[in-house]
Amino acid sequence: MKTIKVLESSQFDGKSGKTVLTVDGETVELPLTEILKEELPFPYKLLNPLQTAFYRFYDGGNALVSSPTSSGKTLISLLFYLRNRGGRFIYTAPTRSLIWEKFREFRSFFKQVGIRTGDLIEELSEITQPAVVCTYESLLSAARNRAKWFEEGGALVIDEIHIIREPSRGAAIEEIVSYALEEGIPLLALSATIPGAPELSRWIEAELLLESEWRPVPLERKILNMRKFLSRTKLPKGTPEEKVVSTVEELKLKGKTLVFVPRKDLGWQALQVENGVYKKRVLNETLPFIPEEGEKGSVAFHNADVPQEEREVIEREFKEGELERLYATQTLAYGVNLPADNVVIFVRGSFDRLTLRYRFFPDPLTILQMEGRAGRFGLSEKGYSYIVVTGTKEKAVEEALKEEMEMPFSTALSSGIEREGKACQNRRKAFLSLMLLGPLIRYGKEWKNALAKMFSLKKNPLLLKEVEEIMGELQEMGFLDGTAPAPLTKLLVSSFVSPYCYREFKERLNASEELLEENPTVGYSFVLRPFIRKEFNPRSVEIFTGEGFRRESEKIIELVEEKTGLEADDNYEVLSFYASGGFFPFKNVARPPGELSTLPPESSLLGQLLCRLNIFDFETVHRAVMMVRSGIPFKFSLLGSVKGLGYMRGNALARAGELLNYHSEIPLINGLKEEQQEVLDALREALSYRYETVQQVEREATAIVNAVRKIKFPLGDEKLLRFLSSLFVGRREAVKLTKERALEVLFENVTGKEKA
C-alpha cells in the first residue's frame, strides 16, 4: 500500500500552485497536473494539490482519501472512475440532499445519471445509466436483492465513510464494503476526518492511502474560555442561551456563520433570544415557541427535529440566500455540504475520575468534522474556527483534538451498537440478524466468506459467537432451513425488517383485535411499529408540545396495555400521536417535526411489505400506509393523497369528520363539494382549535374547500399505487397504469386471505 500525505505547505489559487507531499516518509514537491482532456467538470486548468496527488499515485485497486471538506473529492471520484471503466459507476452517501447535489455535479460529466434515494418515482424507473448516485440504504437493498445496476457495478465510491462509526447506519456500510471486497469491485472510500486511517485502509485492502493536511482555504483556529471571554462584555449573559448568543455577538463575525451547540434545547432557546432580544427574523416555521416579528436579518436552527422540508429551505437559504447565521447541532457536521466563513463550536468538558481523562461533548472527532465546514473556496481567503469551551481548560481541548486522530479505527458494531431509543424490541438481535441474513441471501453456501470480511467480526470475536447463536434461533423459529433462508425471510430482509421484528408484529397483531376495532389509528400504529426503522424519540416531540404530548402518550399507552395485555418500549406512542393528528392544535408547529417528516419513503417500504405478506386486505393496507405516510387518522387517512391539504389541513378535515361521526372521508368530501352547511360548520369548528381569529379560520376553510373541489375519485396517491402494483405487474407495466387500474390490480392481489 502506498501512503501519501499532502502537506499544509501545498498551494493552489485556481490558476497556479504546487503540491508538497510525503511519499513513504520522503518529502517531494511536484507541479500541479494540467486538467485532463476528459471533459471533466472542473472550472480550473489545473488539478489542485490533493487531486494531483491522486492522479499521480493511484494506479488501480481500492483507495482511501481523507481530506478536509471542499478539497475536491468529487473530482477525485471521477478520476477513480477513469481508472476503472469496466462497469457502472456507483456513488453512495448518507443523505438525500448530498445525493441530489452529486446528481447535479455528475451529470455534467456522465450526461445521464440514475438516482436512488427511496423516492417512489425513482423506484419505478429502471437504472440503465452508466452512473448512479444513491443513499447507503438504497445501495444495500440493491445488493441484497441482486439488482442489475449493482451487479454491473465497476467502480464504487463510499462518501462520508466515517459514518461507519454511527450506531444507526454503520452496519449498512460494513455490509456494503464486505460485498465489494468479496466480489472485487474497485472501492474508493472518502472522508473529511477519520481516526485510524491506516487500519481502515488495510481492512478495505487499499492500494493507496491519501491523507491531506492541506486545505483549499486555510483554517485559523481559536480556543476560547466562555467565562473569560464574556467577562468583558455588557451583553445579556444570565442564562446559558444568552451566553451563547452574546458570545457570537461579541465575536463580531462577518460573512456566513455556523454556530454549533451541544444540545437541541439550547439551540431553540438561543433562537428565541435572537428573536426576542435582538429582533432577528426566524426562518424556521416549526418551533417550540411562537416568534415575534423580526426586522434585523434572519437566523435559523438546523437539527434532526426540524421537518425535512424546512431543513431543505434553510440549507438553500444559507448557501444561496441572505441567511447569515445558522445554529446547528452535530447532525449538520455529517453528510450536508454547507461551508461557511466562520464556525463557532460550543464544547462542554468534564473530568472523568474513573479514566482520569477529560470527556467532551461533542466528542473530538465531531468537533473536527464541524470545524471542517470553515472556509468557502473562491469566496473567502481564510476560514475561522472558534471553539468555545466550558467546564475545562482550553489546553485540554487542544490536546484532545490532537490525540483523536491517533486513536485506532473502530466501527459501530465493533465498539457497541446499543443506544437510547429502539426501533425494535430486540434491537441488537435485529441488527445482527440482518447482518447475517444479507450475505446468506446473496451468497448462499458461501455466505461465511463475506461475513468474515466485516471489520467488526475480525475485531470482536464475541460478535461472531453472537451471530452463530442468532443463526440457531432463526433455525428454531423457522426462518432458516439449515442455512437456506425461507421465502418469508427473503421478503423481510428486502424490506429491512428483521425476523425478530416480524415475530413482534405477529404477537401484537394476535393480541390487538379489540384495540383495532375500538381505535384503529392507535391499533395499527402499535401493530405496525416493528416494521418501521425510525427511532421516534419522545423527547423530540415534547420540545414542541410539552405537557400536551405527555398527557396523550399516557392515554395511548394505557389503552394499548388495557386492550392487548402487552407492554412495549419502542416509542410506538410517538407514531400514534402523530397519526392521530396530535400536532394539529399546536400553533407553533407548521408541520410534523424530525423523523415524522421523513416517513413517505418508509411508508412505501411498509406498503410493499404488507402487500407481499398478504395478511390484510388492500383497503386496510391502503389506509394504514396512508396513515403512516400523511399522519391523518386511519378512518380518514386517504385524505393524505389530496394535493393542497398536507398534515394540518388534512387533520382539520379529519376532526370535522369526527365531529359529524362519519366513518370515512367520502361523505365529508361530498358534503364540502355540495356546500352542505353542517359540514362547513364542522370544518370551521375543527379549525378553531388551531386558529384564533375568524379571518384565519375562513382563510383555511376556503383553502381546504378549494382543494376538495379538485378531488377526483377514486382516492389514492397515484405514485404510491403504481409503486405497489409493480409487485404484481412489473415496473414497466406499472408506470403506464392509471390510478383506477392500479387499484384494481391491488384489490385483486392483496386480499388478506393467504396467511404468511
Tell me the pLDDT band of 120, cut-offs 50, 70 and 90: low
Indicate whether 413 pLDDT > 80. Answer: no
- The Cα–Cα gap between 701 and 606 comes to 33
125 and 60 inside one domain: yes
Per DSSP, the three-state class of 184 is coil
Q: Write the DSSP string, 366-403.
A: HHHHHHTTB--TTT-S-EEEEEEEESS-HHHHHHHHHH
Tell me the pLDDT band of 421, cut-offs 50, 70 and 90: very low
Calculate the CA 535 to chain-centre distance.
Answer: 12
Indicate whether 420 pLDDT > 60. Answer: no
Residue 504 lies in a domain: no
- Here the CATH number for the domain that contains residue 377 is 3.40.50.300
Summarize the confidence of residues 223-227 as an average pLDDT. Answer: 96
224 and 183 inside one domain: no
Indicate whether 181 pLDDT > 60. Answer: yes
Residue 250 lies in a domain: yes
Contacts of 425 (CB under 8 A, 6+ apart): 500, 501, 504, 530, 568, 569, 570
Classify residue 667 by its DSSP letter.
H
Question: Do β-strands 383-390 and 219-225 pair in parallel, antiparallel, or remain unpaired?
Answer: parallel
Residue with cell string 381569529 = 693
425 and 442 inside one domain: yes
Where is average pLDDT lowest: 349-358, 429-438, 445-454, 580-589? 349-358
Indicate whether 417 pLDDT > 50. Answer: no
298 and 336 inside one domain: yes
327 and 432 inside one domain: no
Indicate whether 755 pLDDT > 70. Answer: no
CA distance to 466, 468, 530, per residue, from 425 (Å)? 17, 20, 8
At 690-730, the pLDDT tens digits run 999 999 999 999 999 999 999 999 999 999 999 999 999 99
Residue 702: the pLDDT is 97
Indicate whether 471 pLDDT > 50. Answer: yes
Residue 319 lies in a domain: yes
Indicate whether 61 pLDDT > 90. Answer: yes
Which amino acid is located at 440 in the chain? L
189 and 297 inside one domain: no
Residue 495 lies in a domain: no
Residue 754: the pLDDT is 59
Summarize the confidence of residues 472-497 as an average pLDDT. Answer: 94
User: What is the number of structural domains in the chain?
Assistant: 3
Closest CA to 316 of 68, 106, 100, 163: 100
Where is average pLDDT lowest: 8-17, 262-271, 349-358? 349-358
Per DSSP, the three-state class of 131 is strand
Residue spans of beta strands (DSSP E) within 413-486:
480-481, 484-485
Q: Write the DSSP string, 279-328.
A: -PEE--SS-SS-PPP--S-EEEEESTTS-HHHHHHHHHHHHHSS--EEEE
Give whichever of 119-123, 234-238, 322-326, 331-335 has the largest mean pLDDT.
322-326
**Nine cell digits for residue 386:** 472558534
**Nine cell digits for residue 356:** 482520569
Higher pLDDT, 24 or 219: 219
**Nine cell digits for residue 516:** 383495532
34 and 132 inside one domain: yes
- The Cα–Cα gap between 618 and 31 comes to 66
342 and 224 inside one domain: yes
Higher pLDDT, 753 or 208: 208
Give whichever of 51-55, 142-146, 164-168, 356-360 has the largest mean pLDDT.
51-55
Residue 432 lies in a domain: yes
CA distance to 143, 283, 551, 649, per residue, from 154 (Å)? 14, 43, 55, 48
- The Cα–Cα gap between 489 and 479 comes to 6
Question: Do β-strands 153-158 and 187-191 pair in parallel, antiparallel, or remain unpaired?
Answer: parallel
Residue 59: the pLDDT is 95
At 643-687, the pLDDT tens digits run 999 999 999 999 999 999 999 999 999 999 999 999 999 999 999
- The Cα–Cα gap between 358 and 350 comes to 6
**Which of 212, 234, 261 is at the close of a domain?**
212
Higher pLDDT, 451 or 415: 451
Question: Do β-strands 17-23 and 11-12 pair in parallel, antiparallel, or remain unpaired?
Answer: antiparallel
Residue 640 lies in a domain: no
Q: Write the DSSP string, 679-733.
A: HHHHHHHHHTTT--SHHHHHHHHHHHHHHHHT--SSPS-HHHHHHHHHHHH-HHH
283 and 162 inside one domain: no
- The Cα–Cα gap between 172 and 174 comes to 5
At 277-322, the pLDDT tens digits run 999 999 999 999 999 998 888 999 999 999 999 999 999 999 999 9
121 and 261 inside one domain: no
**Which of 440, 465, 483 is at the close of a domain?**
483
**Nine cell digits for residue 282:** 426566524
Domain limits at 80?
A: 2-212
Asked whether 552 and 582 are in contact (CB, 8 A), the reply is: yes
**Which of 441, 466, 483 is at the close of a domain?**
483
- The Cα–Cα gap between 663 and 643 comes to 22
Residue 692 lies in a domain: no
At 521-571, the pLDDT tens digits run 999 999 999 999 999 999 999 999 999 999 999 999 999 999 999 999 999
Return the percentage of the chain with pLDDT > 70, whole number.
97
Calculate the CA 666 to chain-centre distance.
Answer: 36
Mean pLDDT of the chain: 92
Higher pLDDT, 651 or 35: 651
181 and 230 inside one domain: no
Residue 168: the pLDDT is 73
Residue 40: the pLDDT is 79
Residue 23 lies in a domain: yes
389 and 428 inside one domain: no
Specify which residues 20 forms β-bridges with.
Answer: 29
Asked whether 332 and 338 are in contact (CB, 8 A), the reply is: yes
